[in-house]
Amino acid sequence: MVDVTPADAIPPAEVAEVELYHPHSWWTKYVFSQDAKVIAIQYSATATAIGMVALVLSWLMRLQLGFPGTFDFITPEAYYQFITMHGMIMVIYLLTALFLGGFGNYLIPLMVGARDMVFPYVNMLSYWIYLLAVLVLVASFFAPGGPTGAGWTLYPPQAIMTGTPGGQDWGIILMLVSLILFIIGFTMGGLNYVVTVLQGRTRGMTLMRMPLTVWGIFTATVMALLAFPALFVACVMMLFDRALGTSFFMPAIVEMGEQLQHGGGSPILFQHLFWFFGHPEVYIVALPAFGIVSDLISTHARKNIFGYRMMVWAIIGIGALSFVVWAHHMYVSGMHPYFGFFFATTTLIIAVPTAIKVYNWVLTLWRGDIHLTIPMLFALAFIVTFVNGGLTGLFLGNVVVDVPLSDTMFVVAHFHMVMGVAPIIVIFGAIYHWYPKVTGRMLDERLGQFHFWVTFLGAYLIFFPMHYIGLMGVPRRYHELTDVTVMTETAHHLNSFISVMALIVGFAQVVFLFNLIWSIRHGREAGGNPWRATTLEWQTPQTPPAHGNFGKELPIVYRWAYDYSVPGAKEDFIPQNMPGTFGTSKEPA
């Protein structure tokens, strides 16, 4: 008998060999790879591909709204299917997968100085289950009856009834199965991201020295691990309602003069479960964007982030608060006024940490050495867009203002600004920023300028008028708006204008995709650290980083991630792994 404590089972993080899986063949290197960087690219490519489907769906929707009666194939049923799939794909399969599966996989191990995620095999499974979820989702387009048209919130009872496209066909079943698969796959990846950040950092990398990108992705992942269970449960229960004839969410209903078999269920229960997931989901998408944008601004303004610790606490605070605001999506579902009061209050309180972040970004820019590179342009655009979307959020957080605005285009404009355009803009900025590390080449600058200006201005031209017609009372989710009394002539013109702008902005994304592919071979050589940035991913011996990320020895971290323009230092940036003391750093003690 040997006296052994559990502690000796732990591999010390500083050992050079952390039991990496070394690929033996082309298949295990590029397809069934356990390298987080390859998995990240697989995630990103899949998310982008399915995102393009959602983009095309949005064009079709805008064509129908802007030019009603012109396109015969866009029937009311088809329109609802487009709405549903556009929303679901964008929120879950594109934004969540790209931020956490894509950027999370690529950046977390590199930025915290790890060789890989802690359990690469589980990480690989995560991607393949995600791909399966996407395939099931795509399959619903070809199933009898087409995909579900229940709206992205899938509210019962209508989601599983005859009148809704896919309600009594395959659509809703495939949607629910796909979501369940997504959650299983995500959990496998999410556990990896969290444990890597908590337990897999290199020497010297305290949590309070981590780049804010990692903080954002980490907090969002923790939130996702706690919020997705509610969606999982809701999906399982609705699947039973639809497939087994249970009545979790189904009250007694008369449909087409016939009493359905269901009875006694609570549709509101679904809404609670859905939004207990759905509201944190907004921040699951927003927090990685907050983190990334902080790093972009700091790097491209050559200045340390203002109030680093406040930024971290704001991320954590927003993450915690977002779990107690969910019912502000349900004001019109009917609730006790005191609950409305409670949820309105918590909703408005979230504005405090969010405002701290915005002020800190602006103060980081103040007297900075601002380089208007493409990533910086996108970062600046994000601040503007996010403030805009956030302010209309304050409108909608109030019960009395929300009730009349509910189900109008104002809501559509609000959430597209705050969780559609703003995070996507950060994703673009982040791609321009890290593409040189992933491929070794820069993205084309002129195409980037074109992409930025068309996307940024175009997004405003789409969504600003939409606020206005929403205030006029134009409802959302209507297939055709021709005979609605609130649709004045000007509203019609604006509506057509929005549609034209949507097509133009969509076209700019095609240019961006071209840039992504073209620059892999033809882009300017980037070198290891084109932005002269401090964080560890730019200090790798190879670009793109090899399997295992760093050379023989893991880097040792001596400073925080924001030593830019330190007075007294020779260069205007000091990498995190550079030993010694230079000048007067602003690193908090």
| 587 Rama class: left (phi>0) / alpha (psi -120 to 50) / beta | beta
Minimum Å gap between C-beta 100 and other proteins is: 14
Q: In this chain, which stretch among 14-22, 156-164, 166-174, 441-449 interacts with other proteins, using CB under 8 A?
A: 14-22
CB of 472 to other proteins, least distance (A): 39
Q: Residue 573, SS3?
A: strand
Minimum gap (Å) between residue 552 Cβ and other proteins? 19
Q: Exposure pattern of 256-295 as b/e (b: 16+ CB <10 Å)?
A: eeeebebeebebbebbbbbbbbbbbbbbbbbbbbbbbbbb
Q: Which of residues 270-309 bind other proteins (CB under 8 A)?
A: 273, 276
Instruction: Using the minimum distance from each CB to other proteins, give the nearer residue, 232 or 512.
Output: 232
Structure tokens at 73: 């194939």
Nearer to other proteins, 204 or 544 (CB): 204
User: Looking at residue 169, what DSSP letter applies?
Assistant: S
State the DSSP code for 1: -
| Using rule CB under 8 A, residue 32 touches other proteins | no
3-state helix, strand, coil in the chain (%, to 5): 65, 0, 35
Integer Cα distance of 223 and 213 in angstroms: 15
Q: Which helix (H) or strand (E) holds 254?
A: strand 254-255
Q: Which of residues 169-188 bind other proteins (CB under 8 A)?
A: 187
Write the CB contacts of 194 (distance below 8 Å, at least 6 apart in sequence). 218, 221, 222, 225
Helix (H) or strand (E) holding 246, with range, is none
- The least distance separating other proteins from the CB of residue 257, rounded to whole angstroms, comes to 22
Enclosing H/E stretch for 76: helix 76-88
**25 part of the interface to other proteins, by CB under 8 A:** no
According to the binding rule CB under 8 A, does residue 261 interact with other proteins?
Answer: yes
Q: Which of 200, 280, 397, 545 binds other proteins (CB under 8 A)?
A: 200
Among 15, 49, 75, 245, binds other proteins (CB under 8 A): 245
Q: C-beta of 4: minimal distance to other proteins in Å?
A: 6
Per-residue CA distances from 502 to 91, 149, 274, 460 (Å) = 18, 22, 29, 10
Whether 238 contacts 160, CB under 8 Å: yes
**Ranges within 552-571 binding other proteins (CB under 8 A):** 556-559
Q: In angstroms, give the least distance from the CB of 500 to other proteins.
A: 44
The CA distance from 266 to 463, in Å, is: 35
Q: Give the sign of the dihedral formed by CA 278, CA 279, CA 284, CA 290.
A: positive
CB of residue 156 vs other proteins: minimum separation in angstroms? 13
Question: Least distance (Å) from other proteins to the CB of residue 229?
Answer: 4
Positive or negative, the Cα torsion across 562, 563, 567, 570? negative
2 sits near other proteins (criterion: CB under 8 A): yes
Q: Which stretch binds other proteins (CB under 8 A): 118-126, 173-181, 412-420, 429-437?
A: 118-126
Total number of residues binding other proteins (CB under 8 A)? Answer: 68
CB of 10 or CB of 256, closer to other proteins: 10
Instruction: Extract the tokens encoding 130.
Output: 């995600």
Residues numbered 120 to 159 that lie near other proteins (CB under 8 A) are 120-122
C-beta of 397: minimal distance to other proteins in Å? 25
List Cβ neighbours of 381 (8 Å cut-off, separation of 6 or more): 425, 452, 456
Q: Which residue from 49, 135, 195, 546 is in contact with other proteins, where contact means CB under 8 A?
A: 195
The correct pick among 46, 192, 354, 509 for binding other proteins (CB under 8 A) is 192
Q: For other proteins, what does the binding mask look like between residues 439 and 468, x meaning CB under 8 A?
A: ------------------------------
Determine if 335 is a binding residue for other proteins (CB under 8 A).
no
CA distances from 164 to 62, 130, 155 (A): 21, 27, 11
What character string, x for contact with other proteins (CB under 8 A) and - otherwise, covers 205-244?
Answer: xxxx----------------xx-xxx-xxx-xx--x---x
Stretch (H or E) spanning 124: helix 120-142
Q: Does 119 bind other proteins (CB under 8 A)?
A: yes
Question: Considering the complex, what minimum distance in angstroms separates the CB of residue 371 from other proteins?
Answer: 28
- To other proteins, the closest distance from the beta carbon of 555 in angstroms equals 11
Applying CB under 8 A, the residues found at the interface with other proteins are: 1-2, 4-14, 19, 21, 118-122, 187, 190-192, 194-195, 198-208, 225-226, 228-230, 232-234, 236-237, 240, 244-248, 261, 263-266, 269, 273, 276, 556-559, 579, 581, 589
